[in-house]
Amino acid sequence: MILLAFFSPGVEAGQITLSIDDISSPAFHAKAISATLDGPNFSRLEARIGEFSLRERTWRKVRLTCVKTQWKNGEIRCDQGELDLGEKLPVRFVYQQQSKTLALTLNFPLGETWQLGAQWGKPGWKVRVEARNGQVVRLAGFLPQGGVRPTAGTWSGSIGLDGSHAGVESVTADAVFKDIAFADASGLHAGEKIGGGVRCDVSRRKDGWLWRGEVDWKSGEIFWQPIYFADGGHRFVGQGSLEAGLLRVNQGSLRLAGVGEAQLSGAWDMAGRGLTDFDLKAAGIDVAGLYKVLLKPFLEKTAFVKLQAKGAADLAWRYRDGVTTDFDLNLRAAEFVDEDQRFALHGMNAHIPWSNIEERQAEFGFQSGEVLRLALGETRVLLTTRGWQISTPDFSIPLLDGRINVDGFTASRSDGAWQWRFSGGLAPVSMERFSEALKLPLMHGTLSGIIPAVSYAGGNLKVDGALLFKVFDGTVVVKDLSLLEPFGRVPRLSATLDMRNLDLDLLTSAFSFGNMQGRIDVAVGGLELSNWRPVKFDANVASSPGNYPKKISQKAVQSISSLGGAGAAAAIQRSFLSFFEQFGYDRIGLSCVLRNGVCLMDGVEPALHGYVIVKGGGIPAISVIGYNREVSWDELLERLKRVTQKNVKPVIQ
């Protein structure tokens, strides 16, 4: 408005030119400024700016023209101007010299309008920006570098700034957004079709700023690594302050659709980009929504990534100086079911108060559950916590018709990793219930055992000692048991198994394998499983030492022959012996060395072009010879499946 000093409405036709090299302020910077007035009564205005910078945004070769500028009673009016910012835009403005006010309107295509109103004087100044269908991409240049950038969408509303010679004193905003999209360079943060509204009031105080605001996110999706919000319905209302580099929420309310509502407060260190203090309280949280929206993204590489969850939860969290000091969790009628049917807990209730300093008493329990289809009964566990130290009194978990006893359970957490240990035992479980639960052929007897010290550290679970079980009237000893990443997506197990004096009659009667009488020992060394599939082992099956009846049926002969492949054969001493239903034998032996998916097989002793699996003995006697030395592990499993089907009929020639 410096031009008013150079003329009055009575000046005759001529030309006035004004040039300014540079104008700088904390808010903007302009270079190579020129303005020309000419035409009748100086009605034609042309202004040029070589370069204009406002915060992070820079425009070059800015040009404003008005072919019909009106000068009257200290007012400058342009109703048909054009502003060239790289694209030519219709503009109109009115400046009142006495009141020192400016009103400017920019009209864009497709009904987009921006209005700027400003007033300044000795008491202070005011700026107000209003938009209707304003393209948010026009605001990208005013945002900090390296953050998210708007790429689409519109906003309608207003932004107001009030200030004085000292700077901005207050900011107000009231805006509605539609179809907003944004992203950052990394692709870890993005949003699409976002709609909602924002309101805020910010005012300066002696030592900082006070603020209050409201964000209403009504629609659209946002991905903020690793959390994904599929739709809107979320709302935040709060008030706080900004002082000495700390952004504080003194009182806030956050509602997440499908999860629940929480009351919160806290402080964010702007320079350190981290929380210093935080308090959160929430009641009646939907466990299903909490898991789906907030927990599941952080469990991607664990066994808990595919859960069906339900129930209600109450939460209270207190965080001070970068450390959680208190955390309380209550669960009511919760349920967690693995979609891969590995485990489930039903009717879970918990009261877990936790402090990083004080000792607290907690408890949790469930009405029923299952692990690998084995049913668990009602269980209640008491816990004592002191910081990251946890211990329980001895407790038991009903398993089918027996119990798992857990003694001396302790757990601790250091350097961000958990360690725990316990011992216990397995009270007798009937093999009938066990086989029924696992959908196996009916087996008889009981399963029981002693569990020595079990420990977990560094993602590795191991047994310090030997697991001892009794099954099929024999013993099973498991040594060197180690399970790496048991809660990961691909757990790896290693162990050594030693089975002694198993009753063949009990074992074979459980399957449609054919009857065998006798005793066998099974040794499995160097066993390695990946995601519960064998990848390596050295296994050997052999007759147990001692004197006992040794009989084998025709069907069992055929089944064993089938394991040796198409080249296997039963060598019978006399052809008429094929009419006998069972035969005698001296020894049984079969071994498999599994490497790279192939089983290298052997037997009791060598035979011509093969190996002896069953060595005949007694009258009538029979021997079974195997000829395939190398068999695919998958093929061997398929053969076992075929020979244990009930409709297989043996044929001996």
Query: To 10 degrees, what angle do helices 633-643 and 554-563 make?
Result: 160
Which residue range forms the structural domain that includes residue 563?
487-643
Give the residue-averaged pLDDT of 336-364: 94
**Is residue 649 pLDDT above 90, yes or no?**
no
Query: What is the predicted pLDDT for the residue at 4?
Result: 40
Most confident of 296-300, 432-436, 448-452: 296-300
Three-state SS string across 421-474, please? EEEEEEEEEEHHHHHHHCCCCCCCCEEEEEEEEEEEECCEEEEECCEEEEECCE
Is 351 inside a domain boundary?
Answer: no
Query: What is the predicted pLDDT for the residue at 575?
Result: 46
E-strand spans in 260-394? 260-269, 274-286, 307-320, 323-338, 343-355, 359-366, 368-371, 374-376, 379-386, 389-391
Is 289 inside a domain boundary?
Answer: no
Give the residue-averaged pLDDT of 648-652: 36
Confidence of residue 21 (pLDDT cuts 50, 70, 90): confident
Inter-residue contact 339 to 352 (CB < 8 Å): no
User: d(Cα 334, Cα 310) in Å, to the nearest integer?
Assistant: 5
Query: What is the predicted pLDDT for the residue at 653?
Result: 26
If we measure between CA atoms, which residue out of 130, 235, 226, 109 comes closest to residue 172?
A: 130
Q: Name the more confident of 636 and 396.
A: 396
Report in angstroms the alpha-carbon separations of 384 from 149, 360, 406. Answer: 49, 6, 16
Mean pLDDT lowest for which of 178-192, 404-418, 615-629?
Answer: 615-629
Total of domains in the chain: 1
Query: What is the predicted pLDDT for the residue at 183?
Result: 93
The predicted-structure confidence for 123-143, as pLDDT tens digits, reads as follows 788 889 999 999 998 887 777
State the average pLDDT for the chain: 85
Identity of the residue numbered 285: I
Is 268 inside a domain boundary?
Answer: no
Is 637 inside a domain boundary?
Answer: yes
Paired tokens of 642:
């075929």
**Is residue 326 pLDDT above 90, yes or no?**
yes
Is 580 inside a domain boundary?
Answer: yes
Paired tokens of 121:
């004087």
183 membership: H or E segment, kind and range: strand 167-183
Which DSSP string do the residues of 93-149 spell out, in sequence order? EEEETTTTEEEEEEEETTTEEEEEEEEESSS-EEEEEEEEEEEGGGGGGGSPTTS-E
Q: Name the more confident of 483 and 2.
A: 483
Inter-residue contact 96 to 104 (CB < 8 Å): no
Q: Name the more confident of 41 and 396.
A: 396
Confidence of residue 362 (pLDDT cuts 50, 70, 90): very high
Confidence of residue 495 (pLDDT cuts 50, 70, 90): very high
Query: What is the predicted pLDDT for the residue at 72?
Result: 83
Is 509 inside a domain boundary?
Answer: yes
The predicted-structure confidence for 212-253, as pLDDT tens digits, reads as follows 999 999 999 999 999 999 999 999 999 999 998 899 999 999
Report in angstroms the alpha-carbon separations of 653 from 170, 373, 496, 554, 625. Answer: 101, 43, 40, 11, 14
Query: What is the predicted pLDDT for the residue at 173?
Result: 96
Inter-residue contact 191 to 179 (CB < 8 Å): no
Is 127 inside a domain boundary?
Answer: no
Query: What is the predicted pLDDT for the residue at 648?
Result: 40
Inter-residue contact 455 to 461 (CB < 8 Å): yes
Helix and strand tally (H, E) in the chain?
5, 46
Is 113 inside a domain boundary?
Answer: no
If we measure between CA atoms, which residue out of 495, 493, 539 comes closest to residue 520?
A: 539
The predicted-structure confidence for 542-596, as pLDDT tens digits, reads as follows 999 999 888 888 777 777 776 655 444 444 444 444 566 778 888 889 899 999 9
